Amino acid sequence: MSKLTHLQPARVFHYFEEICGIPHGSGDTARISDYCVAFAKAHNLTYHQDTLGNVIIKKSATAGYEDHPAVILQGHIDMVCEKAPDSPIDFTTDGLDVDTDGEFVFAHGTTLGGDNGIAVAMAFAILESTDLPHPPLEVLLTVDEETGMYGAEGFDPSYLEGKMLINIDSEEEGVLTVSCAGGARAELTLPLTYVPNTAPCWQVEVGGLQGGHSGIEIDKGRLNANVVMAQFLRTIDCRLVTIGGGQKDNAIPVSSVAVIACDTDPTAAAVAFAAAHRVDGDPDLTVSVAPATSAAAMTAETTAAVLTLLTTVPNGVQAMSTDIEGLVQTSLNLGILTTEGDTLRASFAVRSSVGAEKAALLEKLATLAPCTTYGHYPAWEYRKDSRLRDTMCAVWERTTGTPPTVAAIHAGLECGLFCEKIPGLDAVSIGPDMWDVHTCRERLSVSSTARVYAYLCDVLKEL
């Protein structure tokens, strides 16, 4: 039964709900890519689907706009898949349990994927419209943005003619994003040595944390569960059996679990540590302990090496911009920590709007442990002269009576790759209000979606 049919704009939420019903986590985008192709076929639109699963859909200009330059509408079709421990959702087979309270759209127990399903929904509503004036349209839908922008990196720009691109992957109404940080993924590895164990074992869990997007919320004073776990374990005499937490390197981990061998019950120490380390950004930190068993544990030397690495490796904000007040310039996030057999793996999302600082941070990680880097993407530099930005600012001010905010962000956007591939590309990123993306608390504003969709339609009339 449809939950969103009564919301406006009706066709936007119709398509958004359809998208929520299709599994489309990063790396699992074949079905959502084929859904986009099926849409193009059903509406007799020209399309191209590449081997990665990226889809380009084209629509001719409406009467009177035939000689206007083409405009690219762009979003990504993958989502971050995070869920609560008690959620029954299997992201590989199940759609989301999407719902609304009239003010917000959300998914029960999981991320919503408003980042970036709402871009696809808006684009499809525009493509199917018969009464909206617009120039030639090219809708570019990319795969695997959340894990390294691999779709944007691999797509062939020769299928596009447009030199103006509206990216619909931002999360604050009234903000025109015109620049963003570049980034990369980094994975540190450490060898693990185990020996037989006869000491009592305990499972320690760090929880109660807010988490959030590792770019947008990295400066909000939120705790990283993996770092907190290592900090706590260094305060007690123990040997590690396993340690791990986090599901995505671009999401601040909300929980971390370790099994340790320890002669004394660490419960009291855990409770005291949690009470002493709660912060304004994460006031609900908990550290809980339960009995466990293991016939093997890491050596004392291996345990020390692991905990030293995890408590000395840089994490969080590393530098703030000196040009733009309040903008994070360089950061990293220890998003995924695992023990797999005899190897510890620690995965980071590294971001910086300064290429030299990104390179230096990656070099620093490599001095701490063997390091593999991948998923590099460039910063999106500010364009001094921009017809698209000027037009979008003018339309916003005319319709709202106030100027929009023109901003740079610390999160990564695909626009940097597009500008690198398409010389002279003029790009702006917009989006409706969303909160707590990449977490189970993700929610999308219904009223903001309506206003931003109307604004996008007005912009197309002016281009």
Q: Does the annotation count 90 as an active-site position? A: no
Distances (CA, A) of 432 to 173, 437, 446: 5, 12, 9
Beta strands 371-377 and 201-207, pairing class:
unpaired
* CA–CA separation, 46 and 40 (whole Å): 7
The closest alpha carbon to 55, from 29, 81, 16, 80, belongs to 29
**Rg of the chain in Å (alpha carbons):** 23
Helix (H) or strand (E) holding 231: helix 225-233
Using an 8 Å Cβ cutoff, are 72 and 456 in contact? no
Give the residue from 26, 28, 24, 25 showing the smallest Cα distance to 147. Answer: 26
Residue entry with tokens 């550290």: 287
Task: Give which of 274, 251, 277, 285 is closest to 441, Cα–Cα.
Answer: 251
In degrees and rounded to multiples of 5, residue 183 shows phi and psi of -170, -175
Buried b (16+ CB within 10 A) or exposed e, 370-397: ebebebbbbbbeebeebebbebbbebbe
Q: Pairing state of beta strands 104-107 and 98-100?
A: antiparallel
Residue type, 425: L
Query: Residue 14 is encoded by which pair of tokens?
Result: 């119709």
Q: Report the C-alpha gap between 38 and 148 in whole angstroms.
A: 26
Active site (annotated) includes residue 458 = no
Phi, psi for 401 (deg, rounded to 5): 85, 0
Tell me phi and psi for residue 302, to 5 degrees.
-65, -45
Calpha distance 169→189 (Å, rounded): 33
Rounded Cα distance, 186 and 355, in Å: 15
Active-site pick, 145, 249, 357, 414 = 145
Cβ atoms of residues 121 and 139 within 8 Å:
no
Catalytic residues: 78, 145
